[in-house]
Each structure stands twice: as C-alpha cells, then as structure tokens.
Chains A and B, each alone.
Chain A
C-alpha cells in the first residue's frame, strides 16, 4: 500500500449539504458505520442559502392538492427531458420526506390551522395546468434552506454520524474492475492525506456555479464531485443545462428568492412596465425561470433596461406592505439593504439573471446509483458509486428546474440513496480492494500539485475561466461563438493542470484547496461547453440564437459527455412512470 493511513467505513458521503446529510442520516440510523466528509463545517454548505422553500403536494395551503399535478408541472418545466419515473418518485415520495423533516424539528412557517405554510412559486399549477396558479412551496419564512440544513445536521448529531469536517475529497479510488472502493481525502487542518475505504461512496458535492463570473452560488461551489467522477471516467449528463435565476442582485449576484414574486412582487423595465405580461400572459412573473430570465435579457437587449448602462431590470415589492415583507421575506430585506443598498419596503431591487443551478451532473437511477453507458446505449451501474443532490442528474429537472424542487430533490434522493445503500449493505456486499497502483492514480493529482515549482497563479486562471464561460455560454448561445469559447478553454487545460502552488505548508492550507477546486471547475466548464455546442436546438435553459426551436426529432433526449474522449453522446429519457400515464411532450407556454 502507498504510504498513507487507511480508514474503513460501510458508507462514506462526500458533502455535508442537504443531500449528503439526508443520506448520512438514513445510514447512521440503520447502524452502519457512516462518515461524512465535508470541506466546510456542514452548516456552511450551500443548501443554507436556499430561501423560498421546498415544493411538495402536502395539501396544506392547497387542501385538494395532488402530487400528480406537481409531477405534471415538473415534467413540463423540464421541457420534457426530465425522466418521468424519477419525477414520479420524487413527487409521490415527497410528502413523506417533508413530514419527516418537520418531525425532526424544521421550523416551518404555519397557517392558521397549524399546518405548514405554502406559497405560490413559478411553474406551479392545479389540475394539470388547467386550474390556475397553485401554492405548493413549503416555507420557513425565506430561510428554508438554513432551517432545513441545520435541522438535518442536528438530526445527524442525534444519530451519532461521524463527521470529517474541513476535510477535502481529492479523487476517487477505482480498482481494475471499475469498482469505486473509496477515495483520497486530505485533512485541511493538518494536511494529512488518507485513503478512505468504503463499500459505498456517495458524491453529494453540490453544484459548480463558480464556473461563471456572476453567480448566486457560494464560493465553495466548485463541482468537486463532478471533477472527481470525470477523472474516474464517469460520463456526465445534460451539462449544457444551467439555470440562470431571474433575480440575482445586480452587481453582487446574491439571490432574491422567487418567493418574492410568489408573494406578489413583479418585474418592471425602465418604463415601469410589468413586461412579463407580454411574454407569459397567464403565469406572468411566475412562468418558468428559463422563460422569465430570457424575457429579462430581451428587455435589456432591446434597450428597456434600467441604470446608466441599461443592463438590469427592477423587482418591485413595496406594494406588498411592510408587514408582509417582514413576516414572509425578512431575509430578502436584509440582503437587499446589504448588497443593493435599497430598502424593498420603499424602492425596487435592481436584478439581473444570474447563474444559479446545474441541472446536469452524474447520471443516476432513482436509487442514487451512478450510471455509465454501454456501446449499445444501455445503462450500466458503476459499482460502489452513488450521487445525489445537485451533483446528480436523476434527472428530475431536465432542461429547467422549477423553483422549490431542488430542496425536494436533495431530500428525496439523499434519502433514497441511503435506503438503497442500507439494503445493499444488509444483503452482505463485500468491500472491494484497491491495488497500490489504483491508489497511486488517486494520489497523482495531489502529488503533482505539491511538486509544482512554476506555473500561473490560481486566482488569475480562475478569473480567466469564469470570464470565458460568462461570455461564451450565457443565457443566449450561438454555435460559432461557443466554438471560439471551447478553443479558449482547450488552450487553458495545460495551464490549469499545472498551476504554481507556492505555499506547500500543511496547516490549513487554503491555497492548495483552491488549486484543486480550480481543476474541478475546469472539468465542469469544459463539459458544459462541449455539451452546449453539441445540442443543436433550444430547450429549457439552453437557448441558441442559431437553433431557436425545440427539436424533438433529434434532441428529446439527454446529452452524455464522455470525459475520456471529450465527446458528446445521447441517452434516452424515461417516459414510463409506474402509476400514471406518460405525460407526452407538448408545446410549452406559460
């Protein structure tokens, strides 16, 4: 064995956000030796920033609500490339998963009857789109992610989950048979490198919004799990699908929840016109996020933007009154005052579409098992590897995620992964072994970095990467311009693989972590770029100037990016839910 310490667990979860903690809880409750590896103390994970809520048909504010209506909305929202078996599972299991959170203590806001408060969100309807706007998003004021993450961390404390806080996962260890047998991790505090061996490795590492210059995402959202998976040869699905949230604070990028429009806020252009009435006459400001974001950009491009550079629009909330704003949107008031220097009680908030969510990721089935693809196009399970939450692509979001569905996704599929792993463990799966050379491979990236004596600065390379992505792969995309972007990225690979790590100390070396993160960002960015150029149509969040229409004949499918060859393939979308008829693709209007 290479000269490092080995630690052994039944299940190891990489990531201490919502999905990782939910998976960990399921496993630790069943008594299996479970470890969570998190590069930050778990409550500092990005789930904490989720605001508006968790969408789920618990039939509280909407007493006759039906999970199948939620399913319909989600399928439509995905622009029909969400997998219907997975969406069916999420929407039907959702109420149970949400009630469990409440039982753990999540401080949901309440209705007069004592039940959980639900608010309207974008893309929600009653009766399969025919019954008007629904109110289906369960909320704890506008701090739902904070409340959810802290509750899950607390539940894990209660169940004695083992935490490796401020440990950074570097790479997966895969053996000659293609089984994932654990991972290499580094303790940030003292620099020790260990092999964490496990029968099941779960990547719950969240998103990678930091590939863009402007994002609502935390600084830690660097796609570490995606990078790790790609280096282990795991394909990535639908990587061109990035959600631009309509309301990031102009200049700062911080998020203003869609719940602010759910509570009655609306967008206006420089003429004070409520322009969404033109683009989505029925749902208006509560159309799908892709639709609203594109409409905003069109307003700006057509000269109706606000400000000296006419480069943003305004979100009006003052008409809701101070009481509603204080009760329902206290966090928004705080963020607006801090980052936009405006008081929403009196004046509108300057907003602009901002990179928010990665719909794509590691392809999985509904048990969280990571999938590869055979030459004949069928799936195979990658033994030992699981993924859930934003890092995974089950896919319940397809080409466009609905607001409030990310928290539901991470709870439902974190839980599902835990349940399935528990089943596998109790059926007696064996720990697979890794050879010295398998381990060396997992250590090679770290070794190379530690030996660097020349090269560029990480901060400079990161900025350059983010600007390329922002300019070439934004809300509207065009083939030749994307090809130019891909060339620029490819010219960066050598430089990004060889940055100069000046500081080689062991104690809390954040420079080393940032260099490793940069390499993950790059893998995500390149996959995004190649997938975006390859999908020659417009669907959901992927809007092309040169292919403006949805093309169901050729692209009613997932894209699959294969990291070893850097090529793009296709994968079938699931149209076979188990208990309801298939929702057939239709023209998508709001």
Chain B
C-alpha cells in the first residue's frame, strides 16, 4: 500500500512536502492506521507523530486520514483506504510543529478559558456530594471528551477565530459543567461566554459531530448553552 505522509521539519525544510512510503500489509489483516504509521516509522524513524494509549481513549493521535479527521489508533484501514492509498496529514488549522505533530496551545487555551473544573461555594460535606442518577445522566455524552481536537480542527468557525471562538471541544466541556447539578457557578460561567464570538460563532454545521471519534455531539451542547444564554438575557 502507498502511504503518503505530510513531512515538515522546521530545522531543515523551507516548506512542507508529501513523502511516499511503500508498506507491505500482512495478508488478511485489517490494521489500524496507527499500526501502519508504526511500520512507516520502522522504515524512516524521522517521521514524527504523537501516540500513547493506542485504544482511542487518550486522544494523542488525532490526524487527518484520507481527508477526514480521526484517531489513527481506532481507524481501521478498511474504513478509509480506497485504491490502496493512505494519505496522512496533520490536523488542519493549527500550526505544524513537525510532520504530523501540531501546536495545540490555542486549543488548550480555549479549554482553560471555560474554567473546566467544578465550582461549588457550599461547604464541603463529610462524604461525597449527592447526585441523583438522573442528574448524573445529564453528564453522559459530555464528560467522555478526550481532547483530541478532531472536532475543533474540523470547524471553519474555529479556523477563522481560534482566539475568540471557544470551539466545539471547549464548549462541550463548558456545558459539561453547566449541566452538573453540583456546580453553583452557572451565572458566572454564562457571563464568561456572553459575547458575539465565544459561543455564537457556531453556525451549527455539525462538522464537529461528523468527526468526533467518541460519538459525542458538541453542536447539541452548544445549542443548550445558546438557550441558557438567551434565557439569561431575556
């Protein structure tokens, strides 16, 4: 199989280029893209990419695979390869550090901006804070985010305004804390988002939903935040 990899080393390359590798896929095996990347690295150890858990829970290996953002470790070749060719590029819209490694600073900055931690001003009880199973269920589909950035780097609004629009990943987490019955800072959280850009730059095109490797729905969460902001403004 032909594997074409985006290559850029700031020390030696004036501009990026695609480099091709011929990889022998062992017969009858449906490997994951990450397995193939490891085979590329055996040929050429200068290829740089991030990886850790290799099972889709750590969010390290988000990349653009044959044109679609996804996690290399849980994307089987059979899902993405056509005409025996695999094209691997870094996540779009972020500065490239080297090869498939992007600079995620702005992505993390937007995550930090929403104050992603529980805030509760009541005195701490001797045991856990109680929460009904129904209230806990409201966090399902939100807390599972792995911060892989597949969604935000697939979002045109984030491409245009990465400094001002929080982006789908950050907003999913914003809603995770807004939805938590144990958090008492709803008003402050909403105030922090009440401007034309932070939330309202979302145009609801659902590019985030289309690529989330965990099957989460940031657009829906953003919709809930919009409603809360409207109610607050009304």
Q: Are A103 and B50 in contact (CB under 8 A)?
A: no
Q: Which single residue of chain A is at the shortest CB-CB distance from B126?
A: A99
Interface residue B84 (Cβ < 8 Å from any Cβ of A): no
Bound-state CA distance A452–B116 (Å) is 45
* Interface locus among B56-64, B152-160, B204-212: B56-64
Q: Which single residue of chain A is at the shortest CB-CB distance from B214?
A: A334
Q: Chain A residues near B9 (CB, 8 Å)?
A: 505, 507
Bound-state CA distance A154–B10 (Å) is 32
Q: Are B97 and A503 in contact (CB under 8 A)?
A: no
Interface residue A356 (Cβ < 8 Å from any Cβ of B): no
Bound-state CA distance A514–B48 (Å) is 11
**Nearest-Cβ distance from residue B43 to partner chain A, whole angstroms:** 10
Q: Chain A residues near B118 (CB, 8 Å)?
A: 103-105, 154
- What total of A-B pairs shows CB separation below 8 Å? 149
Interface residues of B in 90-142 (CB under 8 A from A): 97-99, 101, 104, 108, 112, 115-118, 120, 124, 126-133, 135-136, 139
Of B50, B146, B147, B180, which one neighbours A105 at CB under 8 angstroms? B180
Of A40, A147, A189, A219, which one neighbours B54 at CB under 8 angstroms? A219
Q: Which single residue of chain B is at the shortest CB-CB distance from A159?
A: B117
Q: Are A334 and B56 in contact (CB under 8 A)?
A: yes
Interface footprint category on A: 35 or more
**Nearest-Cβ distance from residue B115 to partner chain A, whole angstroms:** 8
Q: Are A505 and B53 in contact (CB under 8 A)?
A: no
A84-118 to B contact mask, C-beta < 8 Å, 1/0: 00000000000000110011110111111111100
Interface residue A254 (Cβ < 8 Å from any Cβ of B): yes
Q: Are A110 and B74 in contact (CB under 8 A)?
A: no
Q: Are A107 and B136 in contact (CB under 8 A)?
A: yes
Bound-state CA distance A41–B112 (Å) is 14
Bound-state CA distance A457–B45 (Å) is 9
Interface residue B197 (Cβ < 8 Å from any Cβ of A): no
Of A110, A114, A508, which one neighbours B48 at CB under 8 angstroms? A508
**Nearest-Cβ distance from residue B37 to partner chain A, whole angstroms:** 11
Q: Are A218 and B53 in contact (CB under 8 A)?
A: yes
A108-148 to B contact mask, C-beta < 8 Å, 1/0: 11111111100000000000000000000000100100110
Q: Which single residue of chain B is at the shortest CB-CB distance from A514?
A: B45
Q: Chain A residues near B115 (CB, 8 Å)?
A: 158
> A220-B52, A507-B10, A511-B45 are contacts. A110–B58 as well, Cβ < 8 Å?
no
Q: Are A335 and B55 in contact (CB under 8 A)?
A: yes
Interface residue B164 (Cβ < 8 Å from any Cβ of A): no
Of A44, A111, A219, A505, which one neighbours B46 at CB under 8 angstroms? A505
**Residue ranges of B at the interface with A (Cβ–Cβ < 8 Å):** 9-12, 41-42, 45-46, 48-60, 74, 76, 97-99, 101, 104, 108, 112, 115-118, 120, 124, 126-133, 135-136, 139, 143-144, 146-147, 177, 180, 182-183
16 A–B pairs (Cβ distance < 8 Å), ordered by A: A44-B60, A112-B132, A115-B127, A115-B130, A116-B128, A146-B146, A155-B117, A158-B117, A218-B54, A335-B56, A457-B42, A457-B45, A459-B41, A459-B45, A507-B98, A511-B45
Can you name 19 extra interface pairs (CB under 8 A) apart from A40-B58, A115-B127?
A43-B146, A44-B59, A49-B55, A103-B120, A103-B124, A105-B183, A108-B128, A109-B136, A112-B132, A115-B130, A146-B144, A146-B146, A154-B116, A157-B116, A339-B55, A457-B42, A458-B45, A502-B46, A508-B98
- For the complex of A and B, 5 pairs with smallest distance between CB atoms: A105-B118, A114-B130, A154-B117, A102-B128, A511-B45
